């Protein structure tokens, strides 16, 4: 299948899931396949970075660090709505970007449904996209889908990881793709390092054309990794050579000092241009 050689516009027209369609339309409208990952502990920095990069991104990947202050499952407690989420939604409207909460759900169906719908953050009420590990098997999708599908949300499965020594490879990745195929209405794509077309199918098996979105972290223009196993590739390697759709960049953009908004905006423009050039090269072959 060569659907990724088509333009984002053409692919948006065929998408049935509202969150996937919105992402492709936003990429097209803003001519940006850049997602910024905002992993900072201070709410003030969090909002300032998003306001600075907002005009240049299709998507903001949030990781609500707040949950890490609590022990497991306490995020099922109701009635705690941080104003931060309202500010995030206001910025999403102001700058026209999709919101992806990098929650990495990985529990039994009943528990993830509670964590997704209720809990401290009520993720399903504000995040267009979220993600899950495949370790629990298909029930993690059934659980999340019972909450997210009626709201028009979409799920990404972690099929591969960017880290050195990742266990998500080979037959694990194939199983992830099979799980996604069984839940095509809710699973819109993968967090992965390459295109997943035909993964896990036999040599003579023909598949209906599938167009999973591939969102790819581990992207950097200046360094090859960090001291904790992260590995970076360039936007060109990721989008042109590996056929991925969205580059997810964190520290490459907000760098050492999350308070330097001018340099953050300049870096965002640099990555946006690199990601878009790689896309144009891919679709104009
Ligand atoms: O395989 C992965 C999956 C994810 S979601 N590798 C990753 O790095 N991520 C996330 O992407 C990670 O949790 C972090 O939020 C972001 C990469 O940040 P950076 O600062 O290294 O660009």
Residue 125 counted as an annotated binding residue: no
Q: What is the pLDDT of residues 241-259, one digit of tens each?
A: 999 999 999 999 998 777 7
Task: Mark whether 75 is an active-site residue.
Answer: no
Task: Mark whether 104 is an active-site residue.
Answer: yes
Whether this model's ipTM surpasses 0.85 comes out as: yes
Determine which residue's CA is closest to atom 22 belonging to ligand 1: 250
The number of the ligand 1 atom at minimal distance from the alpha carbon of 249 is: 22
Q: What is the pLDDT of residues 95-129, one digit of tens each?
A: 999 999 999 999 999 999 999 998 778 899 999 99
Nearest partner of 230 among 284, 183, 184, 161, judged by Cα? 161
Nearest partner of 189 among 245, 255, 250, judged by Cα? 245
Ligand 1 within 6 A of CB of 265 = no
> Measuring CA to CA, how many Å separate 149 from each of 16, 34, 184?
12, 25, 11
Question: Which pTM was predicted?
Answer: 0.94
Q: Is the pLDDT of residue 26 over 50?
A: yes
Mean pLDDT confidence for 24-28 = 98
Ligand 1 within 6 A of CB of 250 = yes
Q: What is the pLDDT of residues 43-94, one digit of tens each?
A: 888 899 999 999 999 999 998 755 444 444 555 545 445 678 889 999 999 9
Exposed / middle / buried, residue 231 (Cβ in 10 Å: 0-12, 13-18, 19+): middle
Residue 162 counted as an annotated binding residue: yes
Length of the chain: 285
**What is the distance between the alpha carbons of residues 208 and 197, in angstroms, rounded to a whole number?**
10
Determine which residue's CA is closest to atom 6 belonging to ligand 1: 162
């Amino acid at each position: 299948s060569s659907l990724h050689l088509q333009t984002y516009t053409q692919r948006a027209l065929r998408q049935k899931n509202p969150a996937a369609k919105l992402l492709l339309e936003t990429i097209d409208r803003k001519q940006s396949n850049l997602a910024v990952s905002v992993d900072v502990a201070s709410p003030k920095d969090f909002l300032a970075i998003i306001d600075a990069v907002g005009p240049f991104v299709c998507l903001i990947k949030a990781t609500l660090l707040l949950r890490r202050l609590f022990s497991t499952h306490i995020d099922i407690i109701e009635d705690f709505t941080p104003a931060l989420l309202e500010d995030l939604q206001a910025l999403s409207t102001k700058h026209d970007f999709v919101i992806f909460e990098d929650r990495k759900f990985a529990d039994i169906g009943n528990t993830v449904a509670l964590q997704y719908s209720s809990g401290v953050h009520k993720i399903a009420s504000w995040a267009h996209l979220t993600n899950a590990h495949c370790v629990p098997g298909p029930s993690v999708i059934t659980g999340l889908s019972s909450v997210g599908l009626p709201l028009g949300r979409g799920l990404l499965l972690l099929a591969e990881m960017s880290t050195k020594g990742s266990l998500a490879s080979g037959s694990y990745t194939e199983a992830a793709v099979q799980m996604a195929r069984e839940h095509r209405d809710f699973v819109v794509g993968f967090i992965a390092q390459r295109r997943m077309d035909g993964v896990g199918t036999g040599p003579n098996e023909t598949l209906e054309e599938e167009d999973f979105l591939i969102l790819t972290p581990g992207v950097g223009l200046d360094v090859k990794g960090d001291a904790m196993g992260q590995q970076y590739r360039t936007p060109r390697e990721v989008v042109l050579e590996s056929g991925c759709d969205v580059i997810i960049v964190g520290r490459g953009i907000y760098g050492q000092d999350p308070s330097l908004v001018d340099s953050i905006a300049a870096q965002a423009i640099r990555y946006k241009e690199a990601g878009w050039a790689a896309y144009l090269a891919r679709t104009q072959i």
